[in-house]
């Protein structure tokens, strides 16, 4: 027993010290080299501070809609709903989101709605949508703001981030940055 117990205790103490102290200090030090010291990109709009790495809620028709949030965009309570795709309550929530989207975007067919606009992300704080999710909202934005669809499409394209190194991950559009660009395009 001694031959197994003492090495296990030593290993536990070493890993505890390493991962709670040394590793944490290394990650903190690397973050200090990053822009904004690892706190994410901060945007100040109308005197209010926003973090571009956190999802925001946009409900007005003149703005692009973000991905839905199961935690009402509360970063303190980040998480998904934990309801499966066969849960009746979850299905009702998704159907309500579909109905709301179609009410505000009558020219869009139900089958053309990207899934990310009616389902919440795992964290509930996803700041990005796909270019397809932005383009499906294009007509509403152009109509509401009384600007050409071509100009709105140009803004979407200008705010689309390519996959990392052209390979890793999908193309994405940060909704906060896109909506700020819309406000500044006047």
Instruction: Give DSSP secondary structure letters for 119-146.
Output: SB-SSS---EE-HHHHHTTHHHHHHHHT
pLDDT per residue as tens digits for the range 115-144 = 989 988 877 788 899 999 999 999 999 999
Backbone angles phi, psi at 168, to 5 degrees: -95, 115
Q: Which residue has the higher pLDDT, 121 or 174?
A: 174
pLDDT per residue as tens digits for the range 50-94 = 778 888 888 888 999 988 888 888 777 777 778 888 889 989 999
Distances (CA, A) of 54 to 29, 45, 72, 175: 22, 15, 12, 10
List 49's β-bridge partners, or say none.
44
pLDDT per residue as tens digits for the range 5-46 = 888 999 999 999 999 989 998 988 888 887 777 777 778 787
CA–CA gap between residue 31 and residue 40 (Å, rounded): 10
User: Nearest CA to 177 among 51, 68, 71?
Assistant: 51
CA–CA gap between residue 44 and residue 51 (Å, rounded): 9
Domain segments of the chain as ranges: 1-33, 41-184
């Amino acid at each position: 027993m001694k031959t197994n117990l003492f090495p296990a205790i030593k290993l536990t103490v070493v890993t505890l010290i390493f991962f709670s102290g040394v590793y944490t200090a290394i990650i903190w030090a690397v973050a200090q080299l990053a822009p904004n010291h690892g706190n994410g990109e901060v945007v100040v709009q109308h005197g209010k501070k926003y973090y571009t790495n956190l999802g925001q809620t946009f409900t007005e028709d003149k703005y692009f809609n973000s991905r839905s949030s199961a935690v009402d965009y509360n970063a303190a309570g980040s998480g998904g709903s934990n309801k499966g795709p066969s849960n009746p309550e979850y299905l009702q929530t998704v159907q309500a989101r579909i109905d709301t989207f179609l009410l505000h975007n009558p020219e869009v067919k139900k089958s053309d709605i990207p899934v990310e606009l009616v389902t919440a992300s795992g964290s509930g704080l996803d700041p990005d949508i796909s270019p397809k999710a932005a383009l499906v909202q294009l007509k509403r934005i152009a109509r509401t703001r009384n600007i050409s669809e071509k100009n709105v499409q140009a803004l979407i394209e200008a705010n689309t981030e390519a996959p990392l190194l052209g390979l890793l991950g999908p193309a994405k559009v940060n909704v906060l940055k896109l909506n700020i660009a819309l406000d500044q395009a006047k």
